[in-house]
A = this chain, B = another copy of it.
Amino acid sequence: MTASARQVFAGKEAESFLTAVEDRLETLLEQRYADADSAFLERAAGHVTFADAAKRARPRLVFHFGRAVDADLESMVNIAAAAELVHTASLLHDDVVDTADERRGRTTVNTEWDNVTAILSGDLLLCFALQQLDEVDPRLVPSAVKVVEEMSRGIMLEVRSRKNLETTPAEWSSIAAGKTAALFGWCGGSPARIMDDDDAADRFRRCGRHLGIAFQLADDLRDLLDSESGKDRFADIRNGHPSHLLIWASRTDDAVYEQLDALWTGRAELTDEAVEEAADAVLATGAPERTRAALRQQVDRALEALGGYADRPGVRKVAGWADQLAREF
């Protein structure tokens, strides 16, 4: 999330809510990893859990959608903390799968510790999340398990799409759903769920899913367009991630397909120059406009899903954030 989008999505109340979520996560990791034998797991889990603190998009969704249905603060904090644990667990397994060394400038757990620690602390965090949810409302557990299933399937597809230009737009969507949309949707719907407001739960869940896809499209755009973000630019080309833009460009223009395929199959050397050239070729196909349009469509659908709830205070915040995300690109 960029600074400007974050501002729209924030506000004083949201910030104090996030602090409460932060505290809950800290207490939870301390308690659950209390014995000396697993103190290293607490550090490993904390390494990932707290690295991402600046964003906390999922807790923000829980907070704003929770306010819209007057959910109690305590339950919202617990739902948000559980969402962060599920998210962290997936990052831990994802990094082993990826054999990633770094995530947003920090070394990964599998590198700083080892695969064992990453796999097992991921498994444990998932257990803690489900246990936490069972205390809030047992009905939230099956939907969370369903999210984990979708996330696992998404990671699996993503692995198989690596350096594979045959990846289809439909596969891109399934990956985005697993990586982001499933959990975003769950964060949107869960507060209304415990308030027994099924209509709101369904609408907020759908809104959250569309936002998740939009979020992922923005991420893909940023990699090719945003020279100022901290992420290393053109990482998608360099690492063989078929982003929304790369898929569209290579399906539209055979020369671009050839250029990317040569880099991804090792037929061409992956120099900085070659990567920049490929990026320029992708940009020249009009892929950014196509992805921008897709992003706006997802945001529109997210807003449509809100129906009569669009004017409630928390919901207005989410809508404003979505709007900002669409206007940014």
Q: Which residues of A contact B (CB under 8 A)?
A: 37-38, 41, 93, 96-97, 115-116, 119-120, 123-124, 127-128, 130-131, 134, 138, 141-142, 145-146, 148-149, 152-153, 155-157, 159-160, 171
Contacts and interface: CB of A to CB of B under 8 A. Distances in A.
A97 B120 contact: yes
Given A93-B119, A131-B146, A134-B142, 9 more contacts: A38-B156, A93-B123, A116-B159, A120-B152, A120-B155, A127-B146, A130-B142, A131-B142, A131-B145
A141 B135 CA distance: 12
Given A124-B149, A131-B145, A134-B142, A156 B93 contact: no
A145 B124 contact: no
B123 A97 contact: no
A264 to B, nearest CB: 18
The count of identical subunits is 2
A160 B119 contact: no
Contact of A124 (B128, B134, B141, B152): B152
Contacts of A156: 37-38, 41, 116, 120
Contacts of A38: 153, 156
Contacts of A152: 120, 123-124, 127
A12 B124 CA distance: 39
Given A37-B156, A138-B138, A97 B115 contact: yes
B93 A120 contact: yes
A127 B115 contact: no
A146 to B, nearest CB: 7
Contact of A149 (B97, B115, B127, B134): B127
A180 to B, nearest CB: 17
Nearest to A142: B134
A124 B147 CA distance: 11
Given A37-B156, A38-B156, A142-B134, A97 B116 contact: yes
A154 to B, nearest CB: 10
A119 B131 contact: no
Contacts of A138: 138, 141-142
25 contacts: A37-B156, A37-B171, A38-B153, A41-B156, A96-B96, A97-B115, A97-B116, A97-B119, A115-B115, A116-B159, A119-B119, A120-B152, A120-B155, A120-B156, A124-B149, A124-B152, A127-B145, A127-B146, A127-B148, A130-B142, A131-B142, A134-B141, A134-B142, A138-B142, A141-B141
A96 B99 CA distance: 13
| Across the A-B interface, the 5 shortest Cβ-Cβ residue pairs | A127-B149, A123-B152, A97-B116, A134-B142, A130-B145
A164 to B, nearest CB: 12
